[in-house]
């Protein structure tokens, strides 16, 4: 485990594989009638709560100085709340596998933003690898969505908000990483901030009844919380070890896993 924690490639595989589990689990949730915002809340509150408990067990704390609060709030909005709501809203229209393909556009957008803003970027071989992955993703994305049902063009464009938001989050988290902050602390704080935003949104749109519905799918909720908690612990470590462009390539791994799970 220690070897994986210090290896950018190992972190990439673990994080990407767990990311790929999210669209299929979300598809099961949406088919059960759980609103997209409520399922996004499950992910953020579950992951944030578990990681906070880990910090407390280690006698660590989550700081609330102004730079960290800013980091928590901005990261929560552009990295979690927005892409998760869009993803779970798009899954019924595009399918879990097709929606997972949207993650593969994140590396290219992240690469472009990193070059534009002078943030860490890969060498020529890394750029070539990202380009090959992008071409492969486009080839898959030009096929159909659900079996026997072409992907709706309007929802394809809405789905593009996922990689754009993720890419912006990748760059922001590197540029504004608070000093003396650990990956677990930042993961817990930003997810709890996202949960607060989503809870407010659920109340405002009148979907509070969804929480009663969640109680009937305890195994599904526990599976999603477990996957999200482990993923985001590794996610922030990968951000620190590999940088924003390398981290963005979890989209390729996640899309492969999500596509395979969607087919199954």
- The Cα–Cα gap between 98 and 79 comes to 20
Integer-rounded Cα radius of gyration of the chain: 17
Structure token pair of residue 83: 């892409």
Q: How many CB atoms lie within 10 A of CB 209?
A: 10
Domain coordinates in residue numbering, the chain: 10-263
What digits encode the pLDDT tens for the residues 115-137?
Answer: 777 766 666 776 777 777 677 66
Please tell me which residue, 251 or 79, carries the higher pLDDT value.
79
- The Cα–Cα gap between 209 and 214 comes to 9
Angle at the Cα of 70 (from 68 to 73), degrees rounded to 5?
105
- The Cα–Cα gap between 211 and 9 comes to 38
What digits encode the pLDDT tens for the residues 3-58?
Answer: 677 788 888 888 888 888 888 888 889 888 899 899 999 999 999 999 999 888 88
């Amino acid at each position: 485990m220690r070897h994986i924690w210090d290896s950018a490639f190992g972190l990439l595989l673990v994080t990407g594989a767990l990311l790929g589990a999210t669209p299929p689990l979300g598809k099961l949730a949406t088919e059960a009638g759980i609103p997209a915002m409520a399922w996004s809340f499950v992910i953020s509150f579950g992951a944030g709560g578990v990681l906070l408990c880990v910090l407390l067990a280690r006698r660590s704390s989550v700081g609330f100085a102004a730079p960290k609060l800013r980091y928590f709030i901005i990261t929560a909005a552009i990295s979690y709340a927005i892409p998760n709501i869009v993803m779970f809203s798009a899954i019924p229209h595009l399918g879990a596998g097709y929606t997972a393909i949207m993650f593969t556009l994140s590396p290219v957008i992240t690469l472009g933003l990193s070059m534009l803003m002078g943030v860490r970027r890969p060498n020529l071989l890394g750029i070539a690898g990202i380009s090959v992955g992008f071409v492969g993703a486009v080839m898959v994305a030009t096929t159909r969505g659900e079996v026997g049902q072409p992907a709706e063009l309007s929802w394809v464009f809405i789905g593009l908000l996922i990689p754009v938001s993720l890419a912006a989050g990748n760059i922001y988290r590197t540029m504004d990483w608070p000093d003396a902050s650990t990956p677990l602390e930042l993961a817990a704080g930003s997810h709890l901030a996202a949960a607060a935003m989503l809870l407010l949104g659920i109340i405002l749109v009148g979907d509070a009844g969804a929480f009663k519905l969640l109680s009937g799918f305890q195994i599904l909720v526990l599976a999603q919380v477990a996957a999200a908690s482990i993923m985001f612990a590794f996610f922030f470590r990968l951000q620190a070890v590999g940088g924003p462009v390398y981290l963005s390539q979890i989209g390729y791994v996640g899309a492969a896993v999500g596509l395979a799970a969607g087919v199954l």
